[in-house]
Structure 1
Amino acid sequence: MHPDSDAIAALVFSIYTQCPKRSKPARRSNGVAEWTNLAAVVVTSRDGEYVCASIATGVKASPDSAVVTACGGVLHDCHAEILAIRGFNRYLIDECTRLIHHPNYISPCVNRPNLDDPTRFDIDEHCKIVLLATEIPCGDASMEQLGAGAKENWSFTPAVDTMPLRGRSYFSELGAVRTKPGRFDSLPTLSKSCSDKILARQYTSLLLTPTSLLISPRHAYISTLLLPSPKLATNRVALERAFGKTGRSRAVVLGNPGGEYGHHSFDIAGFTAQFPDSRDVLADEADPKPSTISLLYVHNLNPPAEALAKGIKLGIKRKKPDAAASTVSRRRLLHDVMRVIDTIAGSKKMDIKSNYLQIKVHDPARVEMKHVVRAALGNWVPTGPDDFCM
């Protein structure tokens, strides 16, 4: 066990208990209890202090049809791990904003731009990034765990081997790219499983496209993945296959072009505390249901927590896209990044496109690394384009 695993979990759960009730699972009017999954990104600062940069809950993904017309305002994937990573990006962008506007401010983990590259910030090399999750990430890392109760799905072979698999089908196809949601009674998406997305970020860093305009990826990789100790003990083989160098990453490691992007292994450790709103806590309940609400907490946000449903802020209609968009939506993140860049540039015009899909290819090395990872995994089909202009 990582020596500080329980201290990190205690910090995360302590902050979670202080978040608003409207963003947490509840008991429905018919008496049915709700559960959810939680994830958090915790940063060890250069001074050795723990900063809980983001916390998220959620088990839902929006159908592609709701995203391709959203103009960057709807979150495709609200699984806890992916939402927590988005929250971490919001934290980093806001740290850059503070550093620009407050000369005396010292960030726990973000360094000011240096003279060699005055437009790009850097995460301090002494800072470590920990991703905590209360469940084994969906997709390849959880196949044996899910398949144990569905033996009939182990022996079938998929008819089309170029398409990603649903999360809860063909359990014998280990190492494959899978989509969420896994249940067949849910609307299908091309959003990849958390296992697939976390593996990809072992090569391209935790930075999203907008954040990568501001911050170097050099030190933006997960150093430790924290999971509940009992689940870690029974899923080590699957976790090594999903994320280890000897697993499905072997082909990617061989095709690694090097540079700022490339394979970054992480340690996997366990924690003993139990998440109070997990499905495990409700084991004695009759047919508990997953919550449709997601919580997003970001350390330096004001207010620090959002409640989300169907990819937008809870209680706000889609007809008001600017008001409904989460603070971690593509549109909001890119808007704030461009504002920081404009402040840095002053009167000098920066050569950055205002079209989102053009911005996505601004870094050839990042694009190449994505291509290498997806080609090696074999059945990665992109989601529909969500383009918009600033």
Structure 2
Amino acid sequence: MTTGRDVKEAEVICVSTGTKCINGEYMSDRGLALNDCHAEIIARRSLVRFLYSQLEHFLSSNEEEHHKSIFTSCDNKQGFRLKENVQFHLYISTSPCGDARIFSPHEAAVEDQSDRHPNRKARGQLRTKIESGEGTIPVRSGSSIQTWDGVLQGERLLTMSCSDKIARSEFCF
């Protein structure tokens, strides 16, 4: 996190590592196991926790705690926003699973008939991870809703790809 132009004053919110998604047979109905332990997702969970702690600072009756927060009230007094110059940066050493790993950002944006990339039609579709870290596959439209009973009976556990999770990340407070 930076709060101005001086990157020497940056604050590290989280450093994470991870590569696993658990198989459906190891899921816990009591919340005792994390389903997705890819590093990007661990970092996102840490960021959410950090943001909630910053909200607690902001909402504190202690004036010193209140001023430590990275949040300020929205102009309409109906929510919160980051203070001026507060920015978050995400560094990922390898492409996150999903479209970000499959399709290079340096490919031409124009897709024509001569483009024979086997996965081209699947670009931009919601992807699910394959258990045991074997990659991702597009989710078929009209797929049935995943149920706890189904997973326990051996249906594939559907876990959204990291690329899709990062792309859909919203933080509304």
TM-score of the pair, normalised by structure 2: 0.62
Aligned match for 1:178, one of 109, 127, 139: 127
3-state secondary structure, aligned to 1:60: strand
CA RMSD of aligned residues (A): 3.2
- The one-character-per-residue Cα deviations of 1:330-351 (angstroms, maximum 9, x if unpaired) are xxxxxxxxxxxxxxxxxxxxxx
Structure 2: gaps spanning 5 or more residues: 105-116, 136-153
The answer for the alignment partner of 1:192 in structure 2 is: 160
Partner of 1:103: 63
More strand by percentage = 1
Q: How does 1:57-76 map to 2 (within 5 A)?
A: 57-64=17-24, 66-67=26-27, 69-70=29-30, 72-76=31-35
- Matched residue, 2:37: 78
Deviations 1:243-295 (A, max 9, x none): xxxxxxxxxxxxxxxxxxxxxxxxxxxxxxxxxxxxxxxxxxxxxxxxxxxxx
- Partner residue, 2:77: 116
Q: Which residue of 1 aligns with 2:46?
A: 87
CA shift, 1:174, in A, is 3.2
In structure 2, the CA distance between the partners of 1:110 and 1:53, relative to structure 1 (3 Å rule), is farther
Post-superposition Cα deviations, 1:359-381, rounded to whole Å, max 9, x if no partner, equal xxxxxxxxxxxxxxxxxxxxxxx
1:177 offset after TM fit, Å? Answer: 2.5
Cα offset, 1:116, TM superposition: 2.4
Q: Residues 144 and 111 from structure 1, CA distance in 2 versus in 1: closer, same or farther, beyond 3 angstroms? A: closer
Match of 1:56 among 11, 16, 19: 16
Question: Within 2, Cα distance between the matches of 1:97 and 1:47?
Answer: 26
Q: How many residues are aligned here?
A: 136
State yes or no: 1:44 paired with 2:5. no
Counterpart contact for 1:56–1:81, Cα < 8 Å: yes
Give aligned-pair identity as a percent.
27
Aligned-partner Cα distance in 1 for 2:26–2:62:
39
Once the two structures are TM-superposed, the CA of residue 196 in structure 1 deviates from its matched residue by 1.2
Relative to structure 1, the CA distance from residue 75 to residue 47 in structure 2 (aligned partners, 3 Å threshold; closer, same or farther) is same
What is the alpha-carbon distance in structure 2 between the residues aligned to residue 95 and residue 62 of structure 1?
31
DSSP 3-state at the match of 1:122: strand
Partner Cα separation in structure 2 for residue 68 and residue 113 of structure 1: 39
CA distance in 1, matches of 2:72, 2:4: 10
Q: Deviations over 1:117-168 (max 9, x none)?
A: 3xx43322421121111111111111157xxxxxxxx75xxxxxxxxxxxxx
Call closer, same or farther: CA 1:64–1:121 in 2, change over 3 Å.
Answer: farther
TM-score of the pair, normalised by structure 1: 0.30
- Residues 166-203 of structure 1 show CA distances to partners (whole Å, capped at 9, x for unaligned) of xxxx687433332224418xx953111111111222xx
The 4+ residue runs of structure 1 with deviation greater than 4 A are 64-68, 112-115
- AA matched with 1:174: R
Counterpart-to-counterpart distance in 2, 1:141 and 1:103:
44
Distance 2:14 2:81 in 1: 19
Unaligned runs of 5+ in 1: 1-42, 146-153, 156-169, 216-390
Q: Is the 8 A contact 2:98 2:161 kept in 1?
A: yes
The answer to whether the Cα contact below 8 Å between 2:126 and 2:160 also exists between their aligned partners in 1 is: yes
Partners in 2 of 1:66 and 1:113 — Cα distance?
Answer: 43
Deviation at 1:96, TM superposition (A): 2.1
Which of 80, 83, 86 lines up with 1:127 in the alignment?
86
Question: d(CA) in 2 for partners of 1:107 and 1:65?
Answer: 44
The 8 Å contact of residues 55 and 84 in structure 1, kept in 2 or not, is answered as: yes
CA separation in 2, counterparts of 1:67 and 1:125? Answer: 42
1:143 corresponds in structure 2 to 102
